[in-house]
A and B are shown apart, each in its own frame.
Chain A
Amino acid sequence: MKQSGRYLLLLPGLLFLAIFMLIPLVLTISSTFVEDGNFSVSGYLNFLTDAYFLDILWTTLYVALLTTFCCIVLAFPVAYYISRVKGSKKALLLMLAIFPLLVSPIVRSFSWMIILGRNGLLNDFLLSIGMIQEPLTILYTPVAVAIGLVHLFLPLMIVTLVGVMENIDTDYIRAAESLGASKTTAFLKVMFPLCMPGLLIGCTLVFVGSFTAYTTPALLGGQQRVISTFLYQNAITLNDWNTAAMIATIMIVLTFFITGIFQKLATKLNPGGS
Chain B
Amino acid sequence: MNQQNHFALGLITFSIFLFLLGPLAIIFVASFEPTSVLQFPPTGFSLEWYQNIFTVSAFMDTFKLSMFVSLLGNLCALLLGIPAAYALSRFDFRGKGILNAIFVSPILIPGTVLGFTFLRYLIVSYSLPLEAALFIGHTILMLPFIIRVIASSMANFDFSIEEAAMNLGSSRIGAFFRVIIPNIKSGIIAGVLIAFLESFNNVDISVFLTGPGLSTLPIQMLTYVEHYFDPTVAAISVLLMIFTAVFMFLIERLVGLSHFTKR
Contact = CB atoms under 8 A, between A and B. Distances in A.
Interface of A: 1, 3, 6-7, 9-10, 12-14, 16-17, 20-25, 27-28, 74, 77-78, 80-82, 84, 91, 93-108, 110-115, 119, 121, 151, 154-155, 159-160, 162-163, 166, 183, 198, 201, 212, 214-215, 218-219, 228, 231-232, 235-236, 241, 244-245, 248, 251-252, 255-256, 259
B203 A255 contact: no
A13 B208 contact: no
Contacts of A1: 91, 172
A104 B218 contact: yes
A104 B217 CA distance: 11
Nearest to A1: B172
A14 B106 CA distance: 12
Contacts of B237: 104, 106-107, 110-111
Interface string B75-90: 0000111011011100
B40 A114 contact: yes
Most buried by A among B21, B121, B263: B263
B233 interface: yes
Interface residues of B, number: 85
B222 A106 contact: yes
Interface stretch (B24-32, B52-60, B151-159, B183-191): B24-32
Most buried by A among B6, B13, B103, B240: B13
B24 A228 contact: no
Given A77-B13, A114-B27, A215-B203, A102 B248 contact: yes
Q: Dominant SS at the B interface?
A: helix
A135 B210 CA distance: 37
Nearest to B92: A6
A108 B23 contact: yes
Contacts of B262: 163
B225 interface: yes
Interface string B9-27: 1101100110111011011
A74 B222 contact: no
B93 A7 contact: yes
Contact of B24 (A108, A113, A232): A108
9 contacts: A9-B87, A21-B106, A28-B117, A96-B17, A98-B257, A159-B261, A219-B222, A228-B111, A251-B110
